[in-house]
Amino acid sequence: MRPGIKIVTIGGGSSYTPELIEGFIKRYKELPIREIWLVDIEEGREKLEIVGALAKRMVEKANLPMEVHLTLDRREALVDADFVTTQLRVGLLDARVLDERIPAKYGMLGQETNGAGGVFKALRTVPVIFDIIKDMKELCEHAWLINFTNPAGVVSEAVFRYAEFDRYIGVCNVPINMTNHFAEVLKVKSKDLIPYFAGLNHMSYVLSVFHKNKDRLPEIIEQIKESQMTMNNIDPLAWKYEFVKELGVYPSPYHKYYYYNAEMYAKFIKAYEAGETRAELVKKLETTLFEKYKDLNLNVKPKELESRGGAYYSDVACSIISSLYNDKRDYQVVNTINNGHITDLPDGCAIEITCRITKDGPVPVHIGRLPVQIRGLIQSMKAFEELLTDAIYEKDLKKALLALQIHPSTTSITTAEKVFNELVIAHKKYLTYYEEK
């Protein structure tokens, strides 16, 4: 085998790919990559070719001996891979538009990873992840799979419970965005902070923020007051200071869908009526990005990419791969398997938690019991994830409907059923996996 690392990115035609390439370029001394294979499907051929050409220009500018390959043949790419990253979107952005607009017709909030939108993204995505893992077991059984395809929590739950594959790590950009924000508040460097996150993907809380062995979370809460900490894909609604102070831990921006449900719904409906749901805005942004990517003089990641909701996803993936490869044992927040680390959640389930990243995988910090004020919501969401994962594995759409009906944001099982049934019809061609039952 030739020296150097082989990395395969599935969903290589994604607008995020330039950030991934940038991350690998700047880490080349510690991560000597020989080959990067960008993989996509026929519908994504044009974007793959555009992004792939930009990736090659970026590598050429960096003057590195790194080969960039483009292919529509996943199995060809996976042979002897060392690391596989997944950033795929089954049904492309048009499917996301349906996930947002159909619930809105019935008075439900539509969102990529929450509620009905999250359910149908999972129904479309998890079977593909299962297929990828099946190929990996045959073609690169020792490779690590780094997933940042949403809904990362359900994907991780499905992999840990049903894929019989333990070289898997789920990643999300929420923790790194929050950590960067805390660093700004404290006027310190992000790398000097060790935040203790605990919970689930898009439902983890910050329990402590250590800087030089001192927990500075109370100070952060005091300084932030009415915080504007948010994400590009979530409305910048301010947290109420008194609420966060009493909560005693720091919620993620996604918690606004639960703690500010009425306000978030009102803003969502306004966007829906204006034809400006998040998916529709992202489609416009992607059109602009890909026009920039076509510029043969462009050989760096354009600044506009940071406007995409997943900014820093790719940088997180690069950091994790480097830490695995170099046995760095540094602290990072990932989706991994619970083994007594959070005692209020089942062993064997997927959790999002601060870990030390070693050559053998993530080693979570020990949290123990969750604070009572956040325990119930996390446990309710975990029950939803478990039930939906069972439904996918069993190819049982009735059980998937039940999962939506018990989701903590669902307020009417009747409305949930109407939304579910219309989304089944809308996504029919991406749900053939379930027809086998």
DSSP of 69-125: EEES-HHHHHTT-SEEEE---TTHHHHHHHHHHHHHHTT----SSSHHHHHHHHHHH
The residues, any chain, with a CB within 8 Å of residue 407's CB and separated by 6 or more, are: 115, 119, 381, 384, 416
User: 399-424: buried (b, 16+ CB within 10 Å) or exposed (e) per residue?
Assistant: ebbbbbbebbbbeeeebbebbbebbb
The whole-number pLDDT of residue 201 equals 97
The residues, any chain, with a CB within 8 Å of residue 109's CB and separated by 6 or more, are: 103, 115, 257, 261, 264, 265, 268, 409
Tokens (6 digits) for 404: 């939506």
The answer to whether the peptide bond before residue 195 is cis (omega within 30 degrees of 0) is no
**Distance of alpha carbon 69 from alpha carbon 77, whole angstroms:** 9
Query: How many structural domains is the chain composed of?
Result: 1
Q: At what angle do helices 397-406 and 413-426 cross, to 10 degrees?
A: 140
- Is there a contact between 40 and 3 (Cβ–Cβ < 8 Å)? no
- Is there a contact between 82 and 141 (Cβ–Cβ < 8 Å)? no
For the chain, the maximum distance between any two Cα atoms, rounded to a whole number of angstroms, is 59
The whole-number pLDDT of residue 115 equals 92
Element (DSSP H or E) covering residue 374: helix 372-394
In the Cβ-directed half-sphere of 70, how many Cα atoms lie within 13 Å? 19
Q: Is residue 298 part of a domain?
A: no
DSSP conformation class of 252: -
**Cα 69 to Cα 48, 188, 300, 371, 388, distances in angstroms:** 10, 40, 18, 48, 36
Tokens (6 digits) for 119: 């359910």
The residues, any chain, with a CB within 8 Å of residue 86's CB and separated by 6 or more, are: 9, 10, 11, 129, 132, 145, 146, 147, 148, 149
Quick: pLDDT tens for 233-246.
556 677 888 999 99
Q: Is residue 375 part of a domain?
A: no
Quick: pLDDT tens for 77-131.
999 999 999 999 999 999 999 999 999 999 999 988 889 999 999 999 999 999 9
Q: Is residue 400 part of a domain?
A: no
**Residue 54's domain spans which residues?**
5-171
pTM here is 0.94
Catalytic residue flag (residue 254): yes
Q: What is the CATH number of the domain that holds 132?
A: 3.40.50.720
Place of tokens 């409906």: 269
* Residues linked to residue 250 through DSSP beta bridges, in sequence order: 206
pLDDT, mean over the chain: 93
pLDDT band, residue 307 (cuts 50/70/90): low
Q: Is residue 93 part of a domain?
A: yes
- In the set 196, 254, 257, 331, the catalytic residue is 254
Q: Is residue 102 part of a domain?
A: yes
The whole-number pLDDT of residue 159 equals 98
Element (DSSP H or E) covering residue 275: none
Q: Is residue 13 part of a domain?
A: yes
β 67-71/33-39 pair status = parallel
Residue 71 has pLDDT above 70, yes or no: yes
Q: Is residue 81 part of a domain?
A: yes
**Distance of alpha carbon 56 from alpha carbon 78, whole angstroms:** 20
Q: Give the chain's end-to-end CA distance (angstroms, integer).
A: 43
Quick: pLDDT tens for 35-61.
999 999 999 999 999 999 999 999 999
Quick: pLDDT tens for 152-209.
999 999 999 999 999 999 999 999 999 999 999 999 999 999 999 999 999 999 999 9
